[in-house]
Amino acid sequence: MLEIKPIINALRRSKVGAVLLLIQIAITTAIVSNAAFIIQDRMTYLQQDTGYPEQDIFSLSVMTYGKDRDLSQQFEEDENMLRNLPGVVDAAITNAVPLSGSGSASGMGLKPAPEPGRSVRAGYLMADDHMLNTLGVTLSEGRNFYPDDVIVTQDPNKLPKVAIATRTFADEAFPEGDGLGKMMYIGDRPFKIIGIVDKMKGPWLKDDRPDNVIIFPYIKAETYQHIIIRTEPGQRAAVMQTIEDKMLAAYDKRVITNVIAMDEDKRQYNASDTLMLRMLMVLIVVLVAITALGIFGLTLFNISKRTRQIGTRRALGARKSDIIRYFMVENTLICAGGLLLGCTAAILMGQQLLQRFSLPALEMQYVAGTALMVLVMTLLAVIFPARRAAQISPSVATRSI
């Protein structure tokens, strides 16, 4: 016997506490379901497969101030030295480091400028034929650069004629899926896609096209360069410790900075997301705890307020289980009202977040999951006070309180 109707009638006549609780449940549901969805979205983002063996890769920056060496020559010597270091798998000089948050991007045209035509935006890396191996990525189609393809120069007019692209980029440029071997243009300069990599991220994970990456076989001999190094598994820390000394021993008129592991680089780039994630988690825990405490407190208050009523019910034939059920049903009804309101508010809030902050659309399973979690939490929060209520002696009915 659930007494739903009299409980609803009683709640309607004495509604302040119930309404406050209902609002609290609604707010919790609305915020927690959106926060949980954002957390899940960010978790997916943070844990995404970048295509790189991040734990084996690190990078460094080189600022050369010496004028007594030919930079192109020096870089070649550096690469050879690094590739022969114990524990190093491969190394490559590059203009930008993937996942670092710093790099270059441009629109790659399907037609040479100034002809009108579609262009596809991509982050680009400039490196030699060792880049793929250094990044630990493999080609799924086509070929790697030949050493002859690589241009090491300080002449801005010398540009590469070939490129390796990610599958995402190639498919966006050529939706038929036949990007391999096709020509594209940077401005009016043509290049041919000679190889395709299935998975590889660019410099910016938060870019709206993080998977659009192109590698050109091109090393611009500039005074400021980056070097990416991949080590044997477990060797990275040891190599990182000595790398500065090794580089300066090769040529000392330069400064080695920013020696950083790829996963740490990514972590720093994503620091604000991690912080937001943690804050949202704290928010959820605090909100849920406050709501649970609210229900717990309100039920305890209701019990102390209704001690004689509970005693009277027991005197009139209620079993202890009837009293527990009464409070469980009462709270479930309040909770159901709160969840109805909260789910509606969650959906509306999700729509606003979608419109104003370009967040992905709230998935209904998060609303349903949160509603279920809040319902379970309210039931758990009410069990102890309800059991306490059931212990009230029926003799309370005849005693003065």
Residues that bind another protein (CB under 8 A): 1, 3, 6, 9-11, 13-14, 308-309, 312-322, 393-395, 397-400
- Whose CA is closest to 91, among 67, 62, 64? 62
Cβ 392 to another protein shortest distance, Å? 11
Which amino acid is located at 354 in the chain?
L
Task: Using the minimum distance from each CB to another protein, give the nearer residue, 250 or 396.
Answer: 396
Rounded to 5 degrees, what are φ and ψ at 63? -115, 110
Task: Using the minimum distance from each CB to another protein, give the nearer residue, 1 or 68.
Answer: 1
Task: Using the minimum distance from each CB to another protein, give the nearer residue, 262 or 310.
Answer: 310
Cβ 365 to another protein shortest distance, Å? 38
Cβ 398 to another protein shortest distance, Å? 5
Task: Using the minimum distance from each CB to another protein, give the nearer residue, 11 or 347.
Answer: 11
Cβ 291 to another protein shortest distance, Å? 24
Task: Using the minimum distance from each CB to another protein, give the nearer residue, 1 or 155.
Answer: 1
Cα–Cα dist 314/371, whole Å = 33
Q: Tell how far CA 23 is from the center of its chain.
A: 31
Cβ 374 to another protein shortest distance, Å? 25
CA triple 308-313-318, angle to 5 deg: 140
Cα–Cα dist 290/282, whole Å = 12
- Whose CA is closest to 169, among 132, 134, 200? 200
Cβ 5 to another protein shortest distance, Å? 8
Task: Using the minimum distance from each CB to another protein, give the nearer residue, 7 or 280.
Answer: 7
**3-class DSSP state for residue 70?**
coil
Cα within 13 Å of Cα(18), Cβ side: 19
- Whose CA is closest to 96, among 10, 216, 14? 216
Cα–Cα dist 71/218, whole Å = 14
